[in-house]
Amino acid sequence: MDKVRIGIIGCGGIANAKHMPSLKKISQVEMVAFCDIIRERAEKAARDYGVEGAAVYTDYKELIARDDIDVVHVLTPNKQHSFITVDALEAGKHVMCEKPMAINSAEAKKMLDAAKRTGKKLTIGYQSRFRPDSMYLKKMCEAGELGEIYYAKAQAVRRRAVPTWGVFLDAENQGGGPLIDIGTHALDLTLWEMNNYEPEMVVGTTYRKLADNENAANDWGPWDPKKFTVEDSAFGFIKMKNGATISLEASWALNTLLTNEAKTVLCGDKGGADMMGENGGLRINGEKFSKTYVLEPNLKAGGAAFFEGVAGGSAADIEAQMWIAHVMDDSKPLITKPEQAYVVTQILEAIYTSAKTGKPVYFD
């Protein structure tokens, strides 16, 4: 395969801010078709990123019916992830679906089953894995530098940064608020670093405490409380089958100065690490010669792609490069596996369920 021909479904914010700019940089990629329910958005995307004569659609089924498309990127609101992905897989396309995998685990399972049934490739857009700090820490974990990781914190906390555009505040279309939107990044990153995907029990709480203040300070302007139908913060406690525990914090609006987004803290029996250093930098802690130490590795010197054949760039660029490389050559690794994203969705759903019922959720 010399060229990978891609169809984009959903030409809104995440498509323009992440996927299309990164794909445009890859010489083997041709974006040949664009679909959005707002035709003008698809037309603009085709002009900005498409090949000459790129097709424009408002019905995704017309796009996936084309025989000349190899890959589809599903970049729609969360509710649509599952059925569009399944249809695209069944139509013989490989699929990159933006996070979260789906609005619940039942829908995510349909995606996983469709990928296995069709033999087509599926990945989920968790670009935080591809940051230099994340990749460096992964290498440390794989080398056993931290030992057994038995406690972790997954943090995606904003003080006042509620997304007021699109359908972010709509529970029907999104399945939730900050937990499913940004908490999913922090949880995915933490599980990946730990290489632990076997939850045993989850307890969670969600809050909607600040959403009724229509005049609240907010990085992205005021919101309409009547349309704010999701939580503004959420917290979970996850016990894994091997005894490890993870605390998860997610908020769009919370009265705190302790803010970090898509960050993790790992505590092992040989050492620890966190992403809470100066300017959010990676810190490694441990003890040697009866003294404690803290190291902050220089991740800028020489770059930090860590993947053979990857040119580097932003986390989104590296994610796109790795994905396209895997599509073109099965020997290239698929870093974000759908089975892992499925577990993330299971845990997020369990937090929402626990918050609603006031009871812990146990996994088989």
Residue 312's pLDDT is what?
76
Q: What pLDDT does 279 receive?
A: 72
Average pLDDT over residues 339-348: 98
Q: What band does 306 get if pLDDT is binned at 50, 70 and 90?
A: low
Q: Answer yes or no: is pLDDT of 302 > 60.
A: no
| pLDDT level of residue 277 (50, 70, 90 thresholds) | confident
Q: What is the pLDDT of residues 110-165, one digit of tens each?
A: 999 999 999 999 999 999 999 999 999 999 999 999 999 999 999 999 999 999 99
Q: Which of 274, 202, 275 is nearest to 236 (CA)?
A: 202
Residue 299: pLDDT band with limits 50, 70, 90 = confident
**Residue closest to 123 by CA, chosen among 159, 78, 164, 72:** 72
pTM: 0.95
- At 114 the pLDDT is 98
HSE (side-chain half, CA atoms, 13 Å) at 141: 26
pLDDT above 90: percentage of residues in the chain: 92
Q: How far apart are CA 183 and CA 167, in angstroms?
A: 17
| pLDDT of the residue at 305 | 60
Q: Would you tell me the crossing angle of helices 105-118 and 338-357 to the nearest 10 degrees? A: 160
Q: What angle separates helix 132-142 from helix 184-194, to the nearest 10 degrees? A: 30
pLDDT at 304 > cutoff 60: no
Full DSSP string of 73-138: EE-S-GGGHHHHHHHHHHTT-EEEEESSS-SSHHHHHHHHHHHHHHT--EEEE-GGGGSHHHHHHH
Whole-number average pLDDT of the chain: 95
Residue 278 has pLDDT above 90, yes or no: no
What domains are defined for the chain? 4-125 (3.40.50.720), 129-307+343-362 (3.30.360.10)
Q: How far is CA 78 from CA 160, 204, 232, 305, in A?
A: 22, 21, 17, 29
Convert the pLDDT of each residue in 52-93 to its tens digit. Answer: 999 999 999 999 999 999 999 999 999 999 999 999 999 999
Does residue 364 or residue 80 have the better pLDDT? 80
- pLDDT, position 134: 96
Please give the pLDDT value at position 309.
67
